[in-house]
Structure 1
Amino acid sequence: MDDVEDFALSARGLIAELPGNVLSDSDGSVVFDAAALDYIDDDAPAPDSVNPSLWRQSQQIRRGGLFQVTDRVYQVRNNDIANLTIIEGEDGLIAIDCMAGVESARQGMAMIREHVSDKPIAAVIYTHTHIDHYGGVKGVVDPDDVASGKVPIIAPGHQFDKYAIGENVVAGNAMARRASYAFGSHLPLDPLGHITCGIGVVSTKGPVVSYISPTDLITETGARREIAGIEFEFLYAPDTEAPEEMHIWIPELKALTCAENANHTLHNIQTLRGARTRDARNFARYLDETLERWGDEAEVHYGPHTWPVWGNRELVGFIESQRDAYKYIHDQSLRLANKGYTPLEAAEALELPDELRLAWQNRGYHGTLHHDVRAVFTKELGMWDGDPVSLHPHPPVEAARRYVDLIGAPAILAEGRRAIEEGDHRWAVEILHKLVFADPSDTEARELQADAYEQMGYQAEGPQWRGIFLTAAKELREGPLPPPFTTASEDSILGMPIDILFDFVAVQIDGDKAADADIRVNLTFSDSDARWTMWVARGVLNAREHHADDARATISGPKAALTGALLRPGAASQLADSGAITIDGDASELDKLAAVLDTADPSFPIVTP
């Protein structure tokens, strides 16, 4: 805690502080309040309700503004969860990542225009497929300029749209609900509640999330692009922090970013919000390849979160430390797996070596060592932990009732109270969970478990663990609250590749209702001339890329209108009446589809059945 170098680095290069609130385009409400985190004061010691390490990280995270990183490289930081990085070229600006929301990105661009340059946007680069790196794109660039070919959008991978949209939307209802826990969306902004999210700040109200598909894909390491007189070189790093990700080297400026594969925090191998499990070995592999290619020359590393690293020795040490942390987690988790440890046993046993553990950038402000170790098991060995007792367990409610019948509710309450009094909060929430799930109307048990979760939240170094525990306490006391935003934004849905659109509809089919269904429809997407056929049978929706002779109806129209007809088939007749789509054949096929679609409550309970 005596090491305060990061405080100077996180303030380095400040040109202008954030000008004030970020306002919603739709209703003028506050999306982000620049003063909302003023209680995290630079000179204040950590309150008793906040882990001192998390408090230290948050003191730096809350520092927002426009910063100069190096010659012609600028960042707007901490009016959003992610940074906006701008490279000034000879006759244009290159944006690297676009924040999560349009409003914050627009504020960032206004600061660039006021203090740096009014040159036009020459290109946008997405480093990877996560929503907080592309969601603000329409606050950075005019979609018409992209559509006309004037401004390219450069991104990694062969299937960027598929992973960007598929990961965030197809399971979006569950992901948004879990994210509202992990990022503390329902917690008050005070020392008893939200203390940043460890890598940036979250909006106080859901932002507008936009999307524009890439026009130029980077699919191999060594690819180069010259933009506005500046050369960019790319290292393709798939299956790392995102399914599609890349590192970027600017030789002329000796400036490097490893995207989210190198951060001022240990990252997630498995996110708590829910996403595909990542490959810790690949984190290490691509970080080492980056050092091999550019480590001798690089002088600054700028990330899409937090603050930069300056100086070749410091930069190389930073990346080496992150590389070895991920490699250690991968290798040692599998070493213990091969010795017979289960994921939880390995997570309890493993600790990073001191040289890695005591480096601030390897602390668990986003991922944590504990759940990263368990994620390696999931990635390499699957969901079963290897113990037969966990192969076919009773579901939570049934198991809880049996425990309560065996032990008795008064004894469980007494044990929970004793555990809390002795500071054994992990045991308290575990034993009280049985009582809450057996009888969710037991107010005393809920309040007691909430007390235990609250203490676990105050002690957590990881802000997502803090958010989950404190939100659990809040939900036990107040009931479920809806997430403040949805990943299935209009732009995200309309940006879906057609095959992913059918996947999105398919996960909304109620299998029981559709078990005897027989629905067959052709679709013509008039704006792309794509032809598809879709059918529902045996509880499953399938689709193929052509028309079928046995379809009973053919629906034609632009993709946006057909998307509406598929997601709300009960309103298809209104779309047809308005001329947005045409329906040839038996229009009742869409009524049959409407009858087998399910709906999902965005505020489903988590800490109760």
Structure 2
Amino acid sequence: MPACQPKPPSPATTSANHDAAERYALEDRTDFELVERGLIAKFTEKLHDHEGRVIFDPAVYDFLADDAPCPDSVNPSLWRQSQLIRKGGLYRVVDGLYQVRNNDIANLTVVEGESGLVVIDCMASVEAATQGMAMIRAHVSDKPVVAVIYTHTHVDHYGGVKGVVDAADVASGKVPLIAPGTIASFDRLAIGENVIAGNAMSRRAAYAFGSLLEVDPSGHGHLTCGIGVATVPGVTVTYLSPTDSITETGSRRELAGLEFEFLYAPDTEAPEEMHIWIPQLKALTCAENANHTLHNIQTLRGARTRDARNFARYLDETLERWGDDAEVHYGPHTWPVWGNDAVTELLASQRDTYKYLHDQALRLANQGYTPLEAAEEIELPEELGRAWHNRGYHGTVHHDVRAVFTKELGMWDGDPVSLHPHPPVATAERFVELIGADRIMTEGERALETGDYRWAVQVLHLLVFADPENQAARLLQADAYEQMGYQAEGPQWRGVFLSAAKELRAGVAPVPFATASPDTILAMPIEILFDFAAVHVNGPRAAEVDVRIDFVFTDAPAEQDRFWQMWVRRGVLNARRGTNPDAQLTVTGPKGALVAALLLPVEADKLAASGEIVLAGDAAALVVYAGLLEEFDPRFDIVTP
């Protein structure tokens, strides 16, 4: 077998997955009935990008048929969830409410009113959203879109917006775009979370969501993301700023002849999030605060740590406000639940799950446990843990417990040894010198043979980081990571471990998906645009420079955003509104051209020559500034130093 190819499950993994099946309620097939309910049309066409390339083919998941046996290389709980997730198409939730599910990681929800359509969340890409709207037009209604709602600030809920609405209609006020938080807050948090740290986030997300893995019918590679099919590479990510803010619970809007009532739920699954109640339809969504999975308190892709207590608090408030009346709960991922008893049980069960994780993590913290020790100790009570909607298909109990510590107590685990340790390579080199490479390899081989894969990757990590060219150590560690992936119930853990194995064997592959798309960068509020530029500044290189440049945005929608001054001193790029009387240079032009001048200042001369921008003053300031910026390589190493 070639070194870069997946290997079969070991006897230890086969045994572990067979034992796991005994812990699950696999006889409960209720979700298999619910996921099919209301089907209007399945996907019959492949999804193509603007160049005609196939970027999603639902047929690749046909191996996940309902009666297909679970391979030994897949945790049976994850296999079951993936069988459910692969079912996609257009569905009627209730009369007047429809969803397109599973041509993307997130759903497209469309509410039909008397005078038009209200779109709730827009999927991650224009391609998926366009396909979804085409199905709505073909099977439901050709009424115009009269409003768009973002439930929260994550890219898979706004990225496809230009596939559902004309940007000019939003800009003119014809179609309101409603979102939680102030407009400035939503813009700042949506763009800031997904783009300013976007290079690191995209690289980590490629691991967590299995984007680097092949979909493999034998069960050795990618399955689904646990909350949807994969976000596919090559898609178009867009953004439009909200025009209407929801900042208070109880806020109402009449849209297309229907009433929409909102519960503002900040600092939950996203920094800005809200729940939506449509009384005429008795339909409720808690956005991503209630799902057919345990959610992340800390995402593995990287994002702000969330507040588990707030998840519980706002779910309980939702039950108190609308629990007696709700007859259906639909989400921006996975499938709905119907009937008041089922809806209230879902919300109450998830409320208690997040509250349990929060309270028990802090109980153990107060007894002196470290995050990792507490994560090894805490399990959900059986009534919560056996419920399929609380299983770890997105978050896991283990890393959610550790995230509660991070949220409440910070990054330090309380053990002095971890406060100022040597960095990984220096630590590895010292251990290898102390123990010896041969003994580490021998111990790694022993751990692998006995099925102690967690210890195998720990001990071999030392050798790989001390000597990344040690091919035998890399391949042995890859074998251990692979078996950990095969045993993982959480698809993100599986994705991380299998991607690590693949990378150790075959090297770093290109990142297939980036949040910092051109459209997203152009949509940045101007202050965020300067923040984005600032993280590209090489601080040591900029420590002794003094650069002062004014920018005049000729197409700024508000006069106060027209003039901006930027300066770089003491290694820091700062910016504020207004002009600097001591500016060395003034750059004038529309936002699109100024974005290019700010982020690619080496192109400024060309932009000036073509008349797209005007330079007034000393153009050498841009040359100095250009020398301070770094490009981010999305292929940085993870499993090797």
Tell me which interval the TM-score lies in, with the shorter structure as reference length.
over 0.9
Matched, 1:19 2:18: no
Task: Return the match for 1:557 from 568, 571, 589.
Answer: 589
Task: Return the match for 1:479 from 507, 512, 521.
Answer: 507
Q: Secondary structure at the match of 1:97?
A: strand
Q: Which position in structure 1 is the counterpart of 2:310?
A: 282
1:404-419 → structure 2 map (5 Å cutoff): 404-419=432-447
Cα contact 2:104–2:232 (8 A) shared by 1:
no
Q: Which position in structure 2 is the counterpart of 1:167?
A: 193
How far is 1:586 from its partner?
0.7
Matched, 1:575 2:607: yes
Q: Which amino acid aligns with 1:607?
A: V
Q: Secondary structure at the match of 1:11?
A: coil
Q: Which position in structure 1 is the counterpart of 2:377?
A: 349
Q: Which position in structure 1 is the counterpart of 2:142?
A: 118
Q: For residues 489-513 of structure 1, what are the alpha-carbon distances to aligned partners after superposition, in whole Å with 9 as ceiling and x for unaligned?
A: 0111011111111110000000111
How far is 1:397 from its partner?
0.4
Structure 1 residue runs without a partner (length 5+): none
Q: Which amino acid aligns with 1:233?
A: E
Q: Which position in structure 2 is the counterpart of 1:425?
A: 453
- Please give the alpha-carbon distance, in whole angstroms, between the structure 1 residues aligned to 2:523 and 2:317: 33
Higher mean displacement: 415-424 or 201-210: 201-210
- Please give the alpha-carbon distance, in whole angstroms, between the structure 2 residues aligned to 1:539 and 1:203: 37
How far is 1:314 from its partner?
0.7
How far is 1:206 from its partner?
2.8
Task: Return the match for 1:435 from 449, 455, 463.
Answer: 463
Matched, 1:250 2:282: no
Matched, 1:90 2:118: no
Matched, 1:176 2:176: no
- Please give the alpha-carbon distance, in whole angstroms, between the structure 1 residues aligned to 2:73 and 2:585: 61
How far is 1:450 from its partner?
0.1
Cα contact 2:361–2:401 (8 A) shared by 1:
yes
1:12-91 → structure 2 map (5 Å cutoff): 12-25=37-50, 27-91=51-115
Q: For residues 539-583 of structure 1, what are the alpha-carbon distances to aligned partners after superposition, in whole Å with 9 as ceiling and x for unaligned?
A: 100111111111111111111111110000111111111111111
- Please give the alpha-carbon distance, in whole angstroms, between the structure 1 residues aligned to 2:475 and 2:232: 27
- Please give the alpha-carbon distance, in whole angstroms, between the structure 1 residues aligned to 2:247 and 2:521: 25
Q: Secondary structure at the match of 2:35?
A: helix
Q: Which amino acid aligns with 1:299?
A: E
Q: For residues 171-227 of structure 1, what are the alpha-carbon distances to aligned partners after superposition, in whole Å with 9 as ceiling and x for unaligned?
A: 000000000000011111011000100000014423100111111111111110001
How far is 1:486 from its partner?
1.0
- Please give the alpha-carbon distance, in whole angstroms, between the structure 2 residues aligned to 1:404 and 1:103: 50
Task: Return the match for 1:9 from 18, 22, 34.
Answer: 34
Q: Which position in structure 2 is the counterpart of 1:592?
A: 624
Matched, 1:361 2:393: no
Matched, 1:537 2:561: no
Q: Secondary structure at the match of 1:38?
A: helix
1:521-532 → structure 2 map (5 Å cutoff): 521-528=549-556, 529=559, 530-532=562-564
- Please give the alpha-carbon distance, in whole angstroms, between the structure 1 residues aligned to 2:276 and 2:59: 33
Cα contact 2:124–2:231 (8 A) shared by 1:
no
How far is 1:145 from its partner?
1.2
User: TM-score when scaled to structure 2?
Assistant: 0.94
- Please give the alpha-carbon distance, in whole angstroms, between the structure 2 residues aligned to 1:354 and 1:216: 43
Q: Which position in structure 1 is the counterpart of 2:9?
A: none
- Please give the alpha-carbon distance, in whole angstroms, between the structure 2 residues aligned to 1:324 and 1:107: 37
Matched, 1:187 2:213: yes
Q: For residues 407-455 of structure 1, what are the alpha-carbon distances to aligned partners after superposition, in whole Å with 9 as ceiling and x for unaligned?
A: 1111101100100110000000000000000000000000000000000
How far is 1:45 from its partner?
1.6
% identical equivalent positions? 70
Q: Secondary structure at the match of 1:512?
A: helix
Cα contact 2:204–2:301 (8 A) shared by 1:
yes
1:134-533 → structure 2 map (5 Å cutoff): 134-158=158-182, 159-190=185-216, 191-528=219-556, 529=559, 530-533=562-565
Q: Secondary structure at the match of 2:64?
A: coil
- Please give the alpha-carbon distance, in whole angstroms, between the structure 2 residues aligned to 1:71 and 1:297: 17
Cα contact 1:30–1:205 (8 A) shared by 2:
no
How far is 1:149 from its partner?
1.3
- Please give the alpha-carbon distance, in whole angstroms, between the structure 2 residues aligned to 1:23 and 1:36: 15
- Please give the alpha-carbon distance, in whole angstroms, between the structure 2 residues aligned to 1:544 and 1:306: 43
In the TM superposition, structure 1's runs of 4+ consecutive aligned residues that sit over 2 Å from their partners are 203-206
Q: Secondary structure at the match of 1:47?
A: coil
Q: For residues 448-482 of structure 1, what are the alpha-carbon distances to aligned partners after superposition, in whole Å with 9 as ceiling and x for unaligned?
A: 00000000000000000000000000000011112
Cα contact 2:126–2:163 (8 A) shared by 1:
yes
Higher mean displacement: 80-89 or 485-494: 485-494
- Please give the alpha-carbon distance, in whole angstroms, between the structure 2 residues aligned to 1:579 and 1:218: 41
Q: Which amino acid aligns with 2:196?
A: V
Paired residues, what number? 608
Cα contact 1:234–1:247 (8 A) shared by 2:
yes
How far is 1:38 from its partner?
1.1
Q: Secondary structure at the match of 1:66?
A: strand
Q: Which amino acid aligns with 2:414?
A: G
Q: Which amino acid aligns with 1:104?
A: A
- Please give the alpha-carbon distance, in whole angstroms, between the structure 1 residues aligned to 2:168 and 2:574: 34
Q: Which position in structure 1 is the counterpart of 2:635?
A: 603
Cα contact 2:49–2:55 (8 A) shared by 1:
yes
Q: For residues 494-539 of structure 1, what are the alpha-carbon distances to aligned partners after superposition, in whole Å with 9 as ceiling and x for unaligned?
A: 1111111111000000011101010001111111142111100111
How far is 1:30 from its partner?
1.1
Q: For residues 350-405 of structure 1, what are the alpha-carbon distances to aligned partners after superposition, in whole Å with 9 as ceiling and x for unaligned?
A: 01111110110000000000000000000000000000000000000000011111
Q: Secondary structure at the match of 2:375?
A: helix
Structure 2 residue runs without a partner (length 5+): 1-25
Higher mean displacement: 252-261 or 569-578: 569-578
Q: For residues 7-37 of structure 1, what are the alpha-carbon distances to aligned partners after superposition, in whole Å with 9 as ceiling and x for unaligned?
A: 0001111000012211001x11112111111
- Please give the alpha-carbon distance, in whole angstroms, between the structure 1 residues aligned to 2:262 and 2:234: 33
- Please give the alpha-carbon distance, in whole angstroms, between the structure 2 residues aligned to 1:605 and 1:42: 38
Matched, 1:106 2:157: no
- Please give the alpha-carbon distance, in whole angstroms, between the structure 1 residues aligned to 2:110 and 2:492: 29
Q: Which position in structure 1 is the counterpart of 2:19?
A: none
How far is 1:58 from its partner?
0.4
Q: Secondary structure at the match of 2:595?
A: helix
- Please give the alpha-carbon distance, in whole angstroms, between the structure 2 residues aligned to 1:545 and 1:36: 51
Q: Secondary structure at the match of 1:596?
A: coil
Q: Which amino acid aligns with 2:76?
A: P
- Please give the alpha-carbon distance, in whole angstroms, between the structure 2 residues aligned to 1:538 and 1:30: 49
Q: Which amino acid aligns with 1:592?
A: V
Cα contact 1:46–1:52 (8 A) shared by 2:
yes
Q: Which amino acid aligns with 2:603?
A: A
Quote the RMSD (CA, aligned, Å).
Answer: 0.7
Cα contact 1:33–1:204 (8 A) shared by 2:
no
